[in-house]
């Protein structure tokens, strides 16, 4: 896609934004947002004509890249055919989208409830679990993010929860994270066993008869790209079964190819009772989310009214975009590409960066889903920015990335490496080369 610099229009866009747009998660007066003019594939560009390799996938969701022509055309075609219809009616694209998702899901999960995004999908999964089990408590990780609506943000563990805790019945526990273990573990197997023992204790002291569901991200996303150690998810499934607790897996960020499998739980021998999807299902081109429901839970509502609904549930533009995304991901081998890029390029390349730059304390991830844990000292593992905050080092890292033409995703002391799932080998290597320069420029912050 051709693009031309237009700095005058850029200033007009900035004025419009600052005069009228109220941004999320921000003190409004200090904002100076990037001005994005356009995007294509793995790149975005600004009004000054500078192009950036998008190693953020925006909010880790442009799984098929920007402006994919097949996906854009599907949305355009649907808009010309049927732009909107209320959820009480049936339409072809809603049914086709639900079937495609159900076909990818484990056996016995045949029904999909569509929502507007991930947060309201979490809300409705929690609602289904509470009604089905007639138990009210929801257990979730401290290291987690599940969305910004009432139950979703209370289920979240990160500091964005603190000013928003208005829902009841939520209990947090520590999930496994060997690099920063809460259990004094020395091996992945030990961390798995001790984290499971901790969860078993939480269930015992909260009362299994009060707990409707355990809600966890299959691979924790925003809180650090934390892949569960061997046996952990299987152990959670076993604890849930023993205590008649449902298992809800949040696949909003990790699903639809991000880990090199269609769903992150496909990497493990675990079937959830409910799982939640959203932006990855159509690369965020149209707002959408949903809950995939085990047949036994769906049966609860055969005669009983489900007390939930949304005007845009199964919106035809969103549904058409899911159909097109799943079809093109299959046609173009995008899930397989994510796995290969992770195994052959990103994993080895990021570990080479760790060998050269002491500020990189740990590399972790799979597929196109990676994080670098940045430290001041490898021995103490002191973070280069505090939990819940930032630092001059992280500000310099972000500035250096942008100066060198890379759009990063950062959270506290971490840099996440999350390009589109169809990123090419050449683009992945380009990003690694930029990161090599960036880490050289912030090495002065290492104190070990």
DSSP three-state, residue 246: strand
Residue 1 resides in a domain: no
Predicted confidence (pLDDT) per residue in 320-348, tens digit:
999 999 999 999 999 999 999 999 999 99
Where a domain ends, among 305, 331, 357?
A: 331
Helical pair 188-206 and 232-242, crossing angle rounded to 10 deg: 20
Task: Say yes or no: 163 and 185 in one domain.
Answer: yes
Predicted confidence (pLDDT) per residue in 353-405, tens digit:
999 999 999 999 999 999 999 999 999 999 999 999 999 999 999 999 999 99
Interval 287-293 mean pLDDT: 98
Interval 237-247 mean pLDDT: 98
| The pLDDT value given to residue 78 | 98
If one counts every other C-beta atom within 10 angstroms of the C-beta of residue 401, the result is: 25
User: Are 124 and 301 within 8 A, CB to CB?
Assistant: no
Task: Say yes or no: 238 and 313 in one domain.
Answer: yes
Task: Say yes or no: 180 and 312 in one domain.
Answer: yes
Predicted confidence (pLDDT) per residue in 275-288, tens digit:
999 999 999 999 99
Average pLDDT score over the chain: 97
- Return the closest-CA partner of residue 149 out of 321, 297, 276: 276
CA 55 remoteness from chain centre: 14
- Domain holding 115, by residue range, is 69-331
Number of domains in the chain: 2
Task: Say yes or no: 41 and 180 in one domain.
Answer: no
Residue 2 resides in a domain: no
| The pLDDT value given to residue 3 | 78
* Phi and psi torsions of 140, nearest 5°: -150, 165
Where a domain ends, among 331, 352, 384?
A: 331
Interval 416-441 mean pLDDT: 98
Query: Rounded distance, CA 160 to CA 148, Å?
Result: 8
Task: Say yes or no: 190 and 222 in one domain.
Answer: yes
| The pLDDT value given to residue 216 | 98
Where a domain ends, among 275, 299, 331?
A: 331
Task: Say yes or no: 96 and 234 in one domain.
Answer: yes
pLDDT confidence band for 1 (50 / 70 / 90): low
Q: Which residue has the tokens 């269930």?
A: 203
Query: Rounded distance, CA 411 to CA 396, Å?
Result: 14
Task: Say yes or no: 218 and 311 in one domain.
Answer: yes
| The pLDDT value given to residue 419 | 98
Task: Say yes or no: 241 and 341 in one domain.
Answer: no
Task: Say yes or no: 182 and 280 in one domain.
Answer: yes
CA 155 remoteness from chain centre: 15
What percent of the chain clears pLDDT 70, i.e. is strictly above it? 100
Residue 357 resides in a domain: yes
Residue 379 resides in a domain: yes
CATH code of the domain containing 415: 3.90.1150.10
Task: Say yes or no: 393 and 440 in one domain.
Answer: yes
Residue 286 resides in a domain: yes
Which tokens in the block code for residue 351?
A: 């570990």
User: Are 342 and 366 within 8 A, CB to CB?
Assistant: yes
Query: Rounded distance, CA 401 to CA 414, Å?
Result: 14
pLDDT confidence band for 309 (50 / 70 / 90): very high
Interval 156-178 mean pLDDT: 97
pLDDT confidence band for 177 (50 / 70 / 90): very high
Strand partners of residue 427: none
Q: Out of 25-34, 118-127, 275-284, which region has the weakest mean confidence (pLDDT)?
A: 25-34
- Return the closest-CA partner of residue 347 out of 181, 188, 225: 225
Interval 59-65 mean pLDDT: 98
Query: Rounded distance, CA 375 to CA 385, Å?
Result: 8
Q: Which residue has the tokens 């009004």?
A: 47
Task: Say yes or no: 108 and 186 in one domain.
Answer: yes
CATH code of the domain containing 324: 3.40.640.10
Predicted confidence (pLDDT) per residue in 181-223, tens digit:
999 999 999 999 999 999 999 999 999 999 999 999 999 999 9
Query: Rounded distance, CA 133 to CA 241, Å?
Result: 12
- Return the closest-CA partner of residue 142 out of 179, 184, 174: 174
Helical pair 316-331 and 69-81, crossing angle rounded to 10 deg: 150
| pLDDT of 2 over the 90 cut | no
Alpha helices in 243-332 (DSSP H): 295-300, 316-331
Task: Say yes or no: 270 and 350 in one domain.
Answer: no
| pLDDT of 118 over the 70 cut | yes
Query: Rounded distance, CA 112 to CA 132, Å?
Result: 16
Q: What is the DSSP pairing of strand 51-54 with strand 170-173?
A: unpaired
């Amino acid at each position: 896609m051709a693009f031309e610099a237009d700095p005058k229009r850029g200033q007009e866009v900035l004025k419009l934004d600052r005069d009228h747009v109220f941004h999320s998660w921000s003190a409004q007066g200090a904002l100076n947002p990037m001005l994005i003019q356009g995007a294509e594939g793995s790149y975005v560009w600004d009004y000054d004509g500078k192009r950036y390799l998008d190693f953020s996938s925006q909010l880790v969701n442009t799984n098929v890249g920007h402006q994919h022509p097949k996906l854009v055309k599907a949305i355009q075609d649907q808009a010309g055919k049927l732009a909107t219809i209320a959820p009480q009616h049936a339409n072809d694209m809603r049914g086709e989208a639900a079937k495609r998702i159900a076909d990818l899901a484990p056996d016995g999960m045949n029904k999909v409830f569509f929502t507007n995004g991930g947060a309201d999908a979490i809300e409705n999964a929690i609602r289904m679990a509470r009604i089905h089990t007639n138990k009210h408590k929801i257990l979730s990780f401290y290291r987690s993010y599940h969305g910004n609506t009432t139950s979703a943000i209370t289920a979240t563990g990160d500091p964005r929860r603190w000013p928003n805790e208005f829902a009841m019945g939520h209990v947090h526990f520590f999930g496994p994270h060997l690099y920063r273990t809460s259990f004094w573990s020395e091996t992945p197997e030990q961390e798995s066993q001790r984290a499971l023992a901790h969860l078993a204790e939480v269930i015992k002291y909260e009362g299994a008869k009060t707990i409707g569901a355990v809600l966890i991200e299959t691979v924790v996303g925003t809180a650090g790209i934390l892949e569960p150690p061997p046996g952990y998810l299987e152990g959670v499934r076993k604890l849930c079964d023993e205590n008649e607790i449902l298992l809800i897996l949040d696949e909003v960020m990790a699903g639809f190819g991000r880990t090199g499998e269609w769903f992150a739980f496909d990497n493990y021998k675990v079937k959830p009772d409910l799982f939640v999807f959203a932006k990855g299902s159509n690369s965020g081109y149209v707002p959408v989310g949903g809950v995939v429901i085990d047949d036994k839970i769906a049966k609860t509502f055969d005669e009983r009214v489900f007390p939930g609904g949304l005007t845009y549930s199964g919106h035809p533009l969103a549904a058409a975009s899911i159909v097109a995304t799943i079809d093109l991901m299959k046609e173009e081998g995008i899930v397989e590409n994510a796995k290969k890029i992770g195994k052959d390029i990103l994993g080895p390349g990021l570990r080479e960066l760790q060998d050269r730059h002491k500020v990189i304390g740990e590399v972790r991830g799979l597929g196109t889903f990676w994080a670098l844990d940045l430290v001041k000292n490898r021995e103490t593992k002191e973070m280069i920015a505090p939990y819940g905050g930032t630092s001059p080092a992280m500000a310099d890292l972000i500035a250096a990335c942008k100066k060198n033409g890379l759009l990063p995703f950062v959270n506290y002391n971490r840099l996440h490496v999350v390009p589109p799932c169809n990123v090419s080998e050449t683009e992945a290597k380009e990003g690694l080369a930029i990161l090599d320069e960036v880490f050289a420029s912030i090495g002065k912050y290492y104190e070990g």
